[in-house]
Structure 1
Amino acid sequence: MFPLYDTIPSKKKPVITYSIIFINVLIFIYELTLNNFQLQEFFFNYGIVPLRYTWKFNYKYSMIWKEIFPVIYSNPFVPFLSHMFIHGGWSHILGNMWFLWIFGDNVEDKIGHFNFLFFYIFGGLFALFFHWMFNFFSPYPLVGASGAISAVMGAYFVQFWYSRIVTLIIWFIPFLVEIPAVIYLFIWFVLQILNGTISNITGSGVAYWAHAGGFIFGMIIGNRVKRRYYL
């Protein structure tokens, strides 16, 4: 079930959405120039490694941190922003940028260009906090724009619930169907909760709780903006 486009065109050119996509692609091109060791080092320095900030609270994990520490040299505050612009592979960046392309223009249209930029960044930070609550001592770097993009999707959910998402479904043969945005995004959100719960048991490389947290942030802020718009 892959979304292709929505049925609501934006009224203004979404320059911030385009700029965010451009920056993400540019950084990914840089990643392609790195060898495996350099790429791993890049992820650990500019992605968020929860253990980097929590190892002092647990002796067992402090031992793990001492093994990781030699490759860490970035300022500890930089990853809070930089992790949102780094991706782990082709499917990661293509999927994220596609979802941002579909949902970002309308939300940016609604709240304005610069407001959208701040909303996007703080949505990513809230998503990070949500991920952190379930991965307090994780030694693995969190990278990707999906938390911030999930916030955009949450805002879209409350602001453009009446929209429809043209979706590609492959069931024996591929076909297109228009799914109400409120149903599509609700199902997506529930799946993040379910997958996040399962991943706590089995382990997973996908930050489902960051997706859920970002979506919740987007719903809250999106609803406040919607209410102010109608007053």
Structure 2
Amino acid sequence: MFLPLHDGVPLQHMKTPVVARSLIVACTLIHLVFVLGPLSQDEMVGGLGLIPAVLFGLEFLPEGYPFVPVWMTLFTNIFLHGSWFHLIGNMLFLWVFGDNVEDAMGHLRFLVFFVLCGAIASFVHAVASFTIVGAGTPESFMLPTPQRPLIGASGGVAGVVAAYVILYPRVRIWALFLGGIPLRLPAYWAIGFWLAVQLASAILGSDDGVGWFAHLGGFVAGAILIPLMRHRYDPVLARAAAQELQTPR
């Protein structure tokens, strides 16, 4: 387990990370509709979640589903969450890491970056759901079935995490590890630990209810896109910020 708490990296180019905060508000409001709205949670997931078998035209939902063109569920599923714990975990990552990534890109590029990472992550999950890891392995080692809906901002968040560790690898962040141990570690150690957990869980199939391959797909997408989309990154400022934050207080 890895749960980020605080990094303290100051913003260099903007006063407020408008997009990151707006995404948090939007996801929270949508979850309130998900929980309290007129439609049931099953209807919301069926209408806006990503179902790999439906995306590839191998199966079809009842009339009226999904609520948007099938290809758009690559995007709409990003804003749905299955529980408050699911939502809070994703939004905490976005709160801690999103502001500095938005600062390095600007508002519009960050929004495009987040949505692209989420959509690519969703597509990777959809493709992976048709693959079996290892011939002859038991069902517990199979990837999620193509009929299981995917929802959540984890893929977009994973892209933000990748961008952050590339931009600020040596910044020390406070986080909870392994069930609640508070530690202050360089970003490359903390995020490296998180990435190792994602890889191990994807390979071992530890919980087919979690989109591990979506996390990995989003991370790779973020690592590829950040060099292309950042335009406000100053390595000198990054090193100065890292040195300042590493100074004992």
Q: TM-score, normalised by structure 1?
A: 0.85
2:65 is matched with which residue? 72
Give per-residue Cα distances to partners, 1:163-184, cap 9 Å, x unaligned.
Answer: 111123478xx65321110111
Distance 1:98 1:113 in 2: 19
Check if 1:161 corresponds to 2:141.
no
Query: Where does structure 2 lack aligned partners over 5 or more consecutive residues?
Result: 131-144, 236-249
Letter in 1 for 2:126: W
1:8-40 CA distances to partner (integer Å, 9 max, x unpaired)? Answer: 1223210000111111011001111148x8210
> Cα gap change, 1:18/1:72 in structure 2, threshold over 3 Å: closer, same or farther?
same
Given candidates 13, 33, 38, the residue that maps to 1:30 is 33
2:104 alignment partner in structure 1: 110
The Cα shift of 1:143 comes to: 0.5
Match of 1:125 among 102, 112, 119: 119
2:184 maps to amino acid? E
Distance in 2 of aligned mates of 1:209 and 1:10? 31
TM-fit CA distance, 1:187: 1.5
Cα distance in 2 for residues equivalent to 1:220 and 1:2: 24
Task: List alignment gaps of at least 5 residues for structure 1.
Answer: 57-61
SS of the residue 1:166 aligns to: strand
Partner secondary structure for residue 162 of structure 1: coil
Q: Does structure 1 conserve the Cα–Cα contact (< 8 Å) formed by 2:34 and 2:41?
A: yes
Percent identity between the two aligned chains = 31
SS of residue paired to 1:3: strand
1:184 corresponds to which residue?
A: 190
Q: Aligned in 2, Cα 1:228/1:177: closer, same or farther, shift over 3 Å?
A: closer
Task: Flag the 1:117–1:227 CA change in 2: closer, same or farther, 3 A.
Answer: closer
Name the counterpart of 1:87. 81
Report the residue type matching 2:220 in the other structure. Answer: I
Q: Is the 8 A contact 1:147 1:211 kept in 2?
A: yes
2:244 corresponding residue in structure 1 = none
Indicate the SS of the match to 1:204.
coil
- Report the count of equivalent residues: 217
